[in-house]
Amino acid sequence: MTNGAVDSHFLRDQVTVMTQWDANEVPTERARVYGSLLAAVRDFLDQLSDASPDVGVGQRIEADIRKHTRILAKTQATSTDIAERQLLPGRGLLMLPPFVVSRRDTRSVSGKVVFGRHFRGGSGAVHGGIVALLFDEVLGVLVNSTARPTSPTARLAVDFRSITPVEEELDVTGWYGKEAGRKRILKGEIRCRGVLCAEAEGLFVESRANQPHSKSS
């Protein structure tokens, strides 16, 4: 699965065996079901991005989607539900590429990501904004995963070195660069089979005691 097309169920299977940031914690059954639902939606979005349904098929699919939307509208996630989803790849957020952690300590993190086709931009590559989004997520969660006060993103610079492909298993690494007072500088890389696709440097500034979100989460 390291070359060419990736098994479409790779990330869904990982939901049951790999948590987002703590290998000692396991998602609840309810969270795992939610993770599988997200994986199914991502599969749907991938197919939709390349689909060309005729009028009748398009209308039937739209009707089905709206029906299920009404069902979901009758449910409301609790704070406990949302907290449990933090253990899922991508922290249970549909907008985030499902990053799966393979190794982590207090200074660095590494893992895998597969960008689905619905994240595609020009030239068949992953949209540059999505690459930046992944870096902000990985570096941001790393810097805020300790007992320190929350450190929001102040600046994020991304350099694109080569095409970041869709539907391939990519290696993602993030690590601390340096710290000075309230400032934390972290760096990250995305590689495809050893080739550097993109690299980033993020500046995160520790919140003051009287600022919102000053407590670590």
Whether residue 136 sits in one domain with residue 109: yes
Whether residue 201 sits in one domain with residue 145: yes
Whether residue 38 sits in one domain with residue 113: no
CA angle at residue 82 from 44 to 80, to 5 degrees?
A: 140
Whether residue 113 sits in one domain with residue 147: yes
Whether residue 72 sits in one domain with residue 100: no
Q: Is residue 68 part of a domain?
A: yes
Whether residue 101 sits in one domain with residue 75: no
Percentage of the chain lying above the pLDDT 90 cut: 70
pLDDT at 213: 54
Say how far apart CA 167 and CA 5 lie, in whole Å. 6
Structurally, how many domains does the chain consist of? 2
Residue that finishes a domain, picked among 79, 105, 120: 79
Say how far apart CA 68 and CA 139 lie, in whole Å. 35
For the residues 2-24, what does the mean pLDDT come to?
A: 41
CATH of the domain at 107: 3.10.129.10
Whether residue 124 sits in one domain with residue 196: yes
Q: Is residue 138 part of a domain?
A: yes
Tally of CB atoms within 10 A around 195 = 12
pLDDT at 148: 74
Whether residue 195 sits in one domain with residue 161: yes
- The mean-pLDDT minimum among 43-47, 128-132, 176-180 falls in 176-180
Whether residue 114 sits in one domain with residue 54: no
Residue 63 belongs to domain spanning: 10-79
Q: Is residue 115 part of a domain?
A: yes
Residue that finishes a domain, picked among 48, 79, 110: 79
Q: Is residue 56 part of a domain?
A: yes
Mean pLDDT for all residues in the chain: 86
Whether residue 100 sits in one domain with residue 58: no
Whether residue 42 sits in one domain with residue 102: no
Residue that finishes a domain, picked among 79, 105, 138: 79
Whether residue 98 sits in one domain with residue 73: no
Q: Regarding predicted confidence, which is higher, 3 or 41? A: 41
Q: Is residue 123 part of a domain?
A: yes
- CB neighbour list of residue 136: distance below 8 Å, 6 or more residues apart: 153, 156, 202
